[in-house]
Chain A
């Protein structure tokens, strides 16, 4: 706490020294406080340690897990299901979005259907996929693809609609082929939207993958959490939840990195403009 008040005091006296390390240092402080709280609450008996073990116990359980083959198999299964579902949703969403978005009549005809299908919660499909595929990987895949497909499709549609009509007409008067128009006019305009769609879809896909594992019992980290919880392995449950959270953070970081890399040339990312 002394460091906190010291830091706060320094900030108050010397406003806005925009150093890069300050947010990082404060962020580390925040993480340290959270970990300290997780350690202190059960140790001081404020929360029953049968329900919330101290952080050190979780960490020890996690370290133990990291040496087992099952843990890495489950992690691999989760990541594979997530990546495969996301890839299918991206491919289908981009293809459908570019085709539908480029043809005004098609766009007008499909608008209401998309608006209707999109908010249908993908978990509504759980009973159906359980009947058809049981607790196997395709069950999770269907849910992941359904949920993330709409995120991508809607963003691609926005992107294609954003194409400057003058540019499009110019390309047409220069007799660009249809393929060349898509490659040189539509795609660069839609790219930022596609990347946004990717970022949204990446986190939705992870939610659905974990849900399918937890609820249906598709092999993966979600199922491990369910098993640990129902067998009363409390520290293990929390350790696995932490792992899933870290994967979620990594997915976000990865998505943002992809965003920056794919849009190097775009004004929203370029620093030199």
Chain B
């Protein structure tokens, strides 16, 4: 990719942008004279966007939603990786926990919402954060266990014979070695987290991105509802891009290793 000429670069930009441009144009023109209630012209939606998402909804709906997602997700990441290292390091513990964890992972996360609602009601931040954290933790936990389990024995033994301390071994050998699998789990957890962020707000009707979109729908403010759907889509795309950026940096050593192993 590094030795792409100017022509190659232009070609790449063109192939990247061509289809999206065609699709947006198609939506724009196909809906231009639309009188259908559900499918307003794209023009109307675009015009509605800045008036709908002003500073107030950003401050009181979008940012709080994202903050809850971030807090819940980070709790899940810390708990999942921490517990995963503990469980993965002991074969007995792993075999005891495995069926229970498989069951907990298989429970579709949205059913957590009624269960958590039983305990704490479903209005404040806490219940929503718990929902997100509990939903995200299982893929991270199970992948970490798997990552720790499949660590190279030789690496562990080498660390021991070089007299590496427990903390240093944990940090440099165990967590490092398991990090590609932790990243896999974290990626799965992110999409679950976004789903839970939205539906936790659909359930307990106060403010938030999901709640705002549903209020537009219930009030039949269709162009505004569409702007919400588009905003949510953009957030999903932005989060996945952000994740890839972080992963790219954190796992740079792993890609290099894989390339070296392939003899490239």
The listed residue (A116, A127, A237, A247) touching B115 by CB distance below 8 A is A237
Given A120-B236, A121-B191, A237-B114, residue A127 in contact with residue B98 (CB < 8 A): no
Mostly helix, strand, loop or mixed at chain B's interface?
helix
- Interface size bracket, B side: 35 or more
Number of A-B residue pairs, CB cutoff 8 Å, is 165
- A244 x B111 contact (CB < 8 A): yes
Chain-B contact segment, one of A60-68, A89-97, A106-114: A106-114
A135 interfacial contact with B, CB 8 Å: no
B63-104 residues at the A interface, CB under 8 angstroms: 91-92, 95-100, 102-104
Chain B residues, Cβ within 8 Å of A203? 106
- Interface size bracket, A side: 35 or more
- A229 x B118 contact (CB < 8 A): yes
B159 interfacial contact with A, CB 8 Å: no
- A252 x B115 contact (CB < 8 A): no
B2 interfacial contact with A, CB 8 Å: no
Given A30-B98, A123-B199, residue A226 in contact with residue B103 (CB < 8 A): no
A29 interfacial contact with B, CB 8 Å: yes
Chain-B contact segment, one of A19-27, A69-77, A166-174: A19-27
The listed residue (B23, B97, B108) touching A113 by CB distance below 8 A is B23
B215-251 residues at the A interface, CB under 8 angstroms: 216-217, 222, 225, 228-229, 232-233, 236-237, 239-240
B170 interfacial contact with A, CB 8 Å: no
A203 closest partner in B (C-beta): B106
In whole Å, how far is B47's beta carbon from the nearest beta carbon of chain A? 19
In whole Å, how far is A30's beta carbon from the nearest beta carbon of chain B? 4
Q: Roughly how many angstroms separate A97 CA and B104 CA in the complex, as a whole number? A: 32
Given A27-B99, A120-B232, A121-B236, residue A241 in contact with residue B92 (CB < 8 A): no
- B195 x A123 contact (CB < 8 A): yes
Given A214-B110, A215-B203, residue A8 in contact with residue B99 (CB < 8 A): no
In whole Å, how far is B84's beta carbon from the nearest beta carbon of chain A? 16
A234 closest partner in B (C-beta): B118
A112-150 residues at the B interface, CB under 8 angstroms: 112-113, 116, 118-128, 130-132
Chain A residues, Cβ within 8 Å of B96? 26-27, 29-30, 33
B38 interfacial contact with A, CB 8 Å: yes
- A225 x B99 contact (CB < 8 A): no
A207 interfacial contact with B, CB 8 Å: yes
- B229 x A127 contact (CB < 8 A): yes
Chain A residues, Cβ within 8 Å of B55? none
A7 interfacial contact with B, CB 8 Å: yes
Given A124-B232, A127-B229, residue A112 in contact with residue B199 (CB < 8 A): no
Chain A residues, Cβ within 8 Å of B92? 7-8, 11, 26
- B111 x A222 contact (CB < 8 A): yes
- B114 x A214 contact (CB < 8 A): yes
Chain A residues, Cβ within 8 Å of B20? 112-113, 116
Given A26-B96, A29-B96, A124-B229, residue A245 in contact with residue B115 (CB < 8 A): no
In whole Å, how far is A195's beta carbon from the nearest beta carbon of chain B? 18
- B117 x A249 contact (CB < 8 A): no
